[in-house]
Structure 1
């Protein structure tokens, strides 16, 4: 996987859409946090995802990101990559749904470390 170029989409929102977003956004634990946490650099992903895992408005954030066409950011505990089309990758373990997936500069796993080890142990002969 190559580095993802930074891209931000500007959308003109209706006053009703802005008001609806403001209502849920005020309850997000990340509101007012450093936006670089959610960028393609991956340096702040652990902090960002820890906010997302416990976020009471994670679903609304994810829906807003999809509707807004966001790319190159984390929203709703999901990485919105740009490349061949728009790819979305969950950053919460697909097995336990309680911990951050493993990731590096080049790859993103579907599982957290404990679930990865449990899966490997289960498959061992």
Structure 2
């Protein structure tokens, strides 16, 4: 702790802010608040997925999914995957709180596409 006594006030403030950010980040990660929030819209034959708020930072601004070429929608954990007939997929990562409402909204906008839910075995069990 001698190094802390020798440092200036601004160094101490930076250290306190860094530790606070680390603790808040761990809390949100553990509670499942981590993940972007998305806006959904349907435009004729396309499903548009746009990140909302700060979710735009570091992400593609729009996923444009052609509904006529969509084979299935798969939900596994916190990931919703949109599979094309060709086998290619677009993955959308969500928080636990937003997952159910997002899937319900997708099914409402695209009712003709098959929805597949993959259940993971409980921890400690294998398939």
Q: Which has the larger radius of gyration?
A: 2
TM-score, with structure 2 as normaliser: 0.24
Structure with the higher strand share, 1 or 2: 2
